[in-house]
C-alpha cells in the first residue's frame, strides 16, 4: 500500500476557473448527500425501521447521480459520524452522572446558605424593631458602649454603632447571600434538566 509522506499544496488562483466550479459543485453535492444519509440513518435508528426498500448506497447513487466510489465514501462518512455522535452521547451521559453527584453537595450548600440568610434576616428585623438580638451560635457581640463586633477566624470586624452594622454589614451580606442562593438554585435546575434530557 502506498503512503503519502509529502503533499503539494494547490492554490486556488493557479487552478483553471472551470475546474474550481466543478470542485465546488462536487463538494456541495457530496455534503448534501452526506447530510441526507446522516438524517436517514438517524431516523432509521430512532423509528427502528428501514425507510427505503433498497440499501442506502443505492438510494444515494440514484438520488444524487454519483458513482459507486463517491456513494460508498458518502455512506461510510455518514456512518462514522453517527457512530462518533453515539459515542459522544455515552460520554455526555457519563459526565452528567458525575455532575449529578454534585447535586447532593449543592442541595446541602443551599440548605446552609438559606439557614444563614434566615439568621441574618432575624438580626435585621431585630435592628429595625430597636431591640437588637443576636443568635447564640453566631459570634456577634453587642458591647455596652454600643460597639458591635464580629469575631472571625483570623481577625475581628468592629462597627461603631448598630446603624453602621446594619447598613455596612447586614444589608451587604443579605444581598450577597440572595445572589449566591440564586446562582446555586440556577445551577441545580440546570443539572436536573440535563439529567432529565
46 exposure class (CB count in 10 Å sphere: 0-12, 13-18, 19+): exposed
pLDDT mean by block of 10 residues, the chain; 197 residues: 72 84 90 93 88 87 90 92 89 80 84 90 86 78 80 83 85 92 89 77
Rounded-to-10 torsion of CA 73, 76, 82, 88 = -100
Record the pTM: 0.52
- What would the pLDDT profile of 72-84 be if each residue is shown by its tens digit? 999 999 999 999 9
- What does the pLDDT read at residue 52? 84
- What does the pLDDT read at residue 49? 86
How many Å apart are CA 59 and CA 41, to the nearest integer?
12
6 exposure class (CB count in 10 Å sphere: 0-12, 13-18, 19+): exposed
| Orientation of helix 56-64 relative to helix 68-129, angle to 10° | 100
- What would the pLDDT profile of 97-113 be if each residue is shown by its tens digit? 787 777 788 888 999 99
Residue position matching grid coordinates 453566631: 138
- What does the pLDDT read at residue 2? 66
Amino acid at each position: 500500500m502506498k503512503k503519502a509522506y509529502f503533499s503539494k499544496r494547490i492554490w486556488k488562483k493557479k487552478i483553471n476557473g472551470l475546474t474550481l466550479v466543478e470542485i465546488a459543485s462536487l463538494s456541495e453535492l457530496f455534503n448534501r448527500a452526506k447530510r441526507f444519509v446522516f438524517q436517514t440513518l438517524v431516523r432509521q435508528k430512532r423509528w427502528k425501521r428501514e425507510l427505503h426498500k433498497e440499501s442506502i448506497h443505492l438510494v444515494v447513487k440514484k438520488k444524487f447521480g454519483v458513482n459507486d466510489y463517491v456513494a460508498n465514501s458518502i455512506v461510510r462518512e455518514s456512518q462514522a459520524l453517527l457512530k462518533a455522535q453515539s459515542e459522544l452521547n455515552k460520554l455526555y451521559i457519563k459526565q452528567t452522572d458525575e455532575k449529578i453527584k454534585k447535586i447532593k453537595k449543592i442541595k446541602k450548600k443551599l440548605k446552609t446558605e438559606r439557614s444563614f440568610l434566615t439568621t441574618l434576616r432575624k438580626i435585621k428585623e431585630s435592628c429595625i424593631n430597636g431591640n437588637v438580638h443576636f443568635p447564640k451560635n453566631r459570634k456577634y457581640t453587642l458591647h455596652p458602649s454600643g460597639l458591635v463586633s464580629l469575631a472571625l477566624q483570623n481577625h475581628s470586624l468592629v462597627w461603631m454603632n448598630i446603624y453602621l452594622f446594619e447598613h455596612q454589614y447586614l444589608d451587604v451580606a443579605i444581598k450577597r447571600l440572595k445572589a449566591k442562593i440564586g446562582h446555586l438554585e440556577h445551577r441545580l435546575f440546570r443539572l436536573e434538566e440535563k439529567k432529565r434530557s
